[in-house]
Structure 1
């Protein structure tokens, strides 16, 4: 039977996503947010922006890795910047 190889970066990645989701859930329960419009073409809540930001970060990361010879750290930094921009102004 083949098992997935859990490396430290893989574990850190999934733990970070879990902490983000748990933190956003707790924050939303304590201080419910209202929908607002930013640069995204739809009205979104904090949870919507987190989901869109994570999804966009994943695609941006894969795009940078797939079409450039940049370091994985550059791709990760760009993905985190995108997530921050969507969360703040999306």
Structure 2
């Protein structure tokens, strides 16, 4: 086993990475059960699939959290709520 004591593995960090892994796994199962992903053209005016929308959601959520850390003194849990709302909007309109 490699020595990972230099890493700051806290429960919130572990939950963060486990959540991303679960989202990617669930997207893989969804794609296996219903191939194709129903590509569509949304407000960005180019074709996106479910996987594209998940990627856009994750990338945008990272920037939302970074911006939250820079611009706000409120707890990061509020940013999580903004990220969830953002992800819902991406899946509905992109």
More strand by share: 2
> 1:10-89 residue pairs with structure 2 within 5 A?
10-32=13-35, 33-89=37-93
DSSP 3-state at the match of 2:9: coil
The structure with the larger Rg is: 2
DSSP 3-state at the match of 1:4: coil
Mark the runs of 5 or more structure 1 residues left unpaired by the alignment: none
Match of 1:8 among 7, 11, 21: 11
**Over aligned residue pairs, what C-alpha RMSD do you find?**
1.4
TM value normalised by structure 2 = 0.86
State the number of aligned residues.
90
Q: Distance in 1 between matches of 2:76 and 2:62?
A: 12
TM value normalised by structure 1 = 0.90
Moved over 3 A (4+): none
